[in-house]
Amino acid sequence: MTEPRKRHPLGRMIVQRLAIGVFTLFIISVLVFLAVSLLPGDIAQQILGQSATPETVAAMRRDLGLDQPLITRYFHWIGGVLQGDFGKSLANGRPVADLLATRLPNTLFLAAYAAVIAVPLSVLLGLLSAMWRGSWFDRGVNTLSLTAISFPEFFIAYILMYWLSVQWGWFPSMADPGSNPSLMDLVQKAFLPAMTLVLVVSAHMLRMTRAAVVNVLGAPYIAMARLKGVSKWRIITRHALPNALAPIINVIALNVAWLITGVVIVEVVFVYPGLGQLMVDSVTNRDMPVVQACALIFAAVYICINILADVLAIATNPRLLHPR
Amino acid sequence: MELARTIRSMPFTAMLGIVVIAVYAVVAIFAPLLAPYGEAEIVGAQFEPWGGAFLVGTDNLGRDMLSRLIWGARNTVGVALMTTVLAFLIGSIAGLLAAARRGWVDMILSRIVDILMAVPSLIFTLLALSALGPGVMNLIVVVAIMDSTRVFRLVRATAMNVMVMDYVEAAKLRGEGTWWIIRREVLPNITAPLIAEFGLRFCFAFLTISALSFLGLGLPPPLADWGGMVRDNASLISFGDTTPLLPAACIAVLTVAVNFVVDWLLHRASGLKD
């Protein structure tokens, strides 16, 4: 890497991806902002109730900045968001940032917990079933993962809760971490929600990993290596894996979408005080500032992880690392 | 005897899938005849146990669970089916248009789809539903639009491949219009992958709507709906009662069945024989 090269395409491609990512984030923030302007009826009227006089409604509108043009309001809002000010909750008047401060770490912990188990597990299983394509192992994994994909997240969650918690009493069914829990405590209490997420995400991830590896194994250079008499493990580790790495990284990033969807439902099932539960509650109450904040955070996390995956996939692509 | 051969070559899982789908269809169509009680009829005390007049007990308001499971087949599957059909209409019209017209039409449609797919669809759905408010129509439209993005991508890609064929070129030179070409040349050539995709999209819509109902944002209350029924009776789980698992299992069994059939269709279409 130290020797000078003429015009390396790597840097330019990475900058390009970053630019696309930032642009996507901008568009999403506009959409999230516009969702409120779509609201039928007037937010000021909603906050004050039907009995409010037109004067107080007008004063409230001025307070909220609703008399400003849309573009001014957007930049005012996004400016606040970038400084960590998400406005006030309509339900209880508390700053949204305070609500997020307690909820976001819980959700990140749960998602990370699930990902740490699910990613190695599903990459390994996907790799093995691609290698032993058509075997009993492959068929078993295929049927099982197809079944897991077909189950609604809450079904898996309640099955786990019924047996592991209610029947056998191994784990608590309600996942409230309480205040200042130790790490072991958290791991124990969040076990069932994390396990549910692992089952949901692994099924998707291992199927996509399998497809990606099968695709690489069908390439002519693998057939060439096999014909040369290279050993099976060497083919996998030296020839297939470096080329399959980029698609696998993308698979992992794509499955963060299932992780986020799963988190929302799993948090509701296990009454886990995270961002997903907050978002669902706020949608029910139509507490728009909170919904906006949650949607923006989920979207930003997802987009950032995908940008990261894109950059990693480019950076680990053997063809791009050795340009002709 | 093409059909007989196809049936004999079918793997066990696909056969099972087709039988299960047929049973669901019969239950959904004949729900009023099969259900012992009405959909929202309160017939007993709350949470009555299994057996006796109520085969699987009653729910949180004293409605017969079995009847609601049967009515649920009609409501939940019906709404999911409507959503999928709408998603297909939107997705394939937009996809065909993009493939046929290319240029700026394709540009704009593709960028819109990119944006919609840049965020997990449940997040967009929650955002849209909180802005538009609850209601069956809003639910169907929002989920259908999110679902149609995948249809768009598939239709656009497959239709693009057909559009460059010589027979399409010949039709163009004959002076046929865009819609004639789409209807007579493109559509017949892309139906096979679309059928498998319909199954996948149905599963997605079905699971999304069930999840939203479970979260309390789906079909409005008196309607029997499997996701909502799980939510209503979930507290029973902590008392060691499996009743709330029944509606969830109804959802799971149908999706597994559809996925088994789709898996077989895709396997057949890919030309892999084992």
pLDDT digit string (tens) for B4-20?
777 777 788 888 888 98
Tokens of A251: 């698979």
The answer to whether the Cβ–Cβ distance between B131 and A39 falls below 8 Å is yes
Asked casually if ipTM beats, i.e. exceeds, 0.90, the reply is: no
Q: Does B15 touch chain A (CB under 8 A)?
A: no
pLDDT over 70 percentage in chain A: 83
* Least confident window among A225-229, B56-60, B120-124: B56-60
Residues A24 and A162 in one domain: no
The answer to whether the Cβ–Cβ distance between A31 and B115 falls below 8 Å is yes
- Per the document, the length of chain B is 274
- As a whole number, mean pLDDT of residues B211-239 equals 82
Residues A106 and A15 in one domain: no
CB nearest to B120's CB, from A32, A158, A302: A302
Which whole-number Å values give the CA distances from B68 to B40, B139, B185, in the listed order?
Answer: 8, 21, 46
CB nearest to A153's CB, from B129, B211, B244: B211
Alpha-carbon span A162 to A184, nearest angstrom: 23
Chain B hits for A142, Cβ within 8 Å: 263
Looking at the structure of chain A, the number of domains it has is 2
In a domain, A2, yes or no: no
CB nearest to B238's CB, from A173, A261, A288: A173
- Structure confidence by residue, pLDDT tens digits, B237-266: 777 777 788 888 889 899 989 988 888 888
Q: Kindly list the domain boundaries of chain B, sorted by start residue.
A: 76-270
Chain B hits for A39, Cβ within 8 Å: 131
Q: What is the CATH number of the domain that holds A261?
A: 1.10.3720.10
Phi-psi domain of A176 (left: phi exceeds 0; alpha: psi -120 through 50; beta: other): beta
The answer to whether the Cβ–Cβ distance between B126 and A154 falls below 8 Å is no
* Least confident window among A151-155, A192-196, B10-14, B75-79: B10-14
Question: Is-contact B230 A157, C-beta < 8 A?
Answer: no
In a domain, A91, yes or no: no
B residues 21-60 closer than 8 Å to A (CB): none
CB nearest to A28's CB, from B13, B119, B203: B119
Tokens of A57: 């409604």
**What is the Rg, in whole angstroms, of the alpha carbon atoms belonging to chain A?**
24
Alpha-carbon span A231 to A225, nearest angstrom: 9
Residue among B118, B193, B189, B214 at smallest CA distance from B151: B193
Domain limit, last residue, from A32, A47, A82: A82
Tokens of A62: 């001025």
Tokens of B147: 């679902």
Nearest CA in chain B to A285: B130
Contacts of B65 (CB under 8 A, 6+ apart): B54, B55, B56, B57, B58, B59, B229, B243, B246
In a domain, A58, yes or no: yes
Is pLDDT at A324 greater than 60 in this prediction? no
In a domain, A21, yes or no: yes
Residues A109 and A247 in one domain: yes
Q: Does A31 touch chain B (CB under 8 A)?
A: yes
What is the DSSP code (8-state) at residue A168? T
Q: Does B141 touch chain A (CB under 8 A)?
A: no
Nearest CA in chain B to A153: B211
Question: Is-contact B254 B175, C-beta < 8 A?
Answer: no
Chain B hits for A298, Cβ within 8 Å: 119-120, 123
Domain limit, last residue, from A26, A54, A82: A82
- Structure confidence by residue, pLDDT tens digits, B101-160: 888 888 888 888 888 888 888 888 888 888 887 788 888 999 999 989 989 988 888 888
Higher-confidence position of B49 and B119: B119
- As a whole number, mean pLDDT of residues A27-38 equals 81
What does B152-168 look like in DSSP terms, one character per residue?
Answer: HHHHHHHHHHHHTSHHH
Residue among B21, B86, B71, B4 at smallest CA distance from B261: B21
Chain A hits for B119, Cβ within 8 Å: 28, 298-299, 302-303
- Per the document, the length of chain A is 324
* Least confident window among A31-40, A150-159, A226-235, A237-246: A31-40
Chain B hits for A159, Cβ within 8 Å: 245
* Least confident window among A8-17, A57-66, B20-29: A57-66
Chain A hits for B122, Cβ within 8 Å: 260-261, 264
Is pLDDT at A53 greater than 80 in this prediction? no
Q: Quote the minimal CA–CA distance from B250 to chain A in Å.
A: 10
Which whole-number Å values give the CA distances from B124 to A74, A79, B93, B143, in the listed order?
Answer: 19, 22, 22, 9
One-letter amino acid at A324 equals R
Alpha-carbon span B251 to B124, nearest angstrom: 23
One-letter amino acid at A306 equals N
Query: For residue A41, which phi and psi values (nearest 5 degrees)?
Result: 90, 175
CB nearest to B216's CB, from A134, A260, A284: A284
Nearest CA in chain A to B228: A154
In a domain, A3, yes or no: no
Burial pattern B253-268, b for ≥16 Cβ within 10 A else e, equals bbbbbbbbbbbbbeeb
SS3 A235: helix
Residues A127 and A159 in one domain: yes
What is the DSSP code (8-state) at residue B55? T
Alpha-carbon span B138 to B161, nearest angstrom: 35
Q: Quote the minimal CA–CA distance from B138 to chain A in Å.
A: 13
Beta-carbon neighbour count of residue A316 at 10 Å?
A: 15
Tokens of A15: 């900058």
Residue among A150, A23, A320 at smallest CA distance from B115: A23
Residues A213 and A312 in one domain: yes
Residue among B100, B175, B115, B182 at smallest CA distance from B149: B115
Residues A197 and A272 in one domain: yes
Alpha-carbon span A186 to A284, nearest angstrom: 28
Contacts of A132 (CB under 8 A, 6+ apart): A138
The answer to whether the Cβ–Cβ distance between A150 and B216 falls below 8 Å is no
Chain B hits for A269, Cβ within 8 Å: 234
Sign of CA dihedral B140, B142, B146, B151: positive
The answer to whether the Cβ–Cβ distance between B123 and A154 falls below 8 Å is no
One-letter amino acid at B55 equals L
The answer to whether the Cβ–Cβ distance between A288 and B240 falls below 8 Å is no
A residues 166-225 closer than 8 Å to B (CB): 166-167, 173
Provide the terminal-to-terminal Cα distance of chain A, rounded to the nearest Å. Answer: 14
Alpha helices (H) along chain A: 9-37, 43-48, 54-64, 70-82, 96-131, 136-150, 153-160, 183-189, 191-217, 220-228, 232-234, 241-254, 256-269, 275-285, 288-315, 318-321
Domain limit, last residue, from A82, A115, A144: A82
Sign of CA dihedral B40, B42, B46, B50: negative
Tokens of A306: 């995908």
Nearest CA in chain A to B236: A162
Domain extent for A152? 98-321
Q: Does B255 touch chain A (CB under 8 A)?
A: yes
Name the band, by pLDDT with cuts 50, 70 and 90, for residue A1.
very low
Residues A74 and A103 in one domain: no
Alpha helices (H) along chain B: 2-9, 12-29, 31-34, 65-101, 103-117, 121-132, 136-163, 166-174, 178-181, 187-214, 226-233, 245-269
Question: Is-contact B139 B208, C-beta < 8 A?
Answer: no
In a domain, A70, yes or no: yes
The answer to whether the Cβ–Cβ distance between B259 and A149 falls below 8 Å is yes
* Least confident window among A9-23, A85-99, B150-164, B169-183: A85-99
A residues 260-299 closer than 8 Å to B (CB): 260-261, 264-265, 268-269, 279-280, 282-284, 286, 288, 291-292, 295, 298-299
CB nearest to B214's CB, from A32, A142, A154: A154
pLDDT of A39: 63
Residues A312 and A195 in one domain: yes
Q: Does B125 touch chain A (CB under 8 A)?
A: no
In a domain, A180, yes or no: yes
Q: Quote the minimal CA–CA distance from A5 to chain B in Å.
A: 35
- Rounded to the nearest integer, the mean pLDDT of chain A is 80
- As a whole number, mean pLDDT of residues A61-65 equals 69
Spell out the CATH class of B76-270: mainly alpha
Residues A184 and A251 in one domain: yes
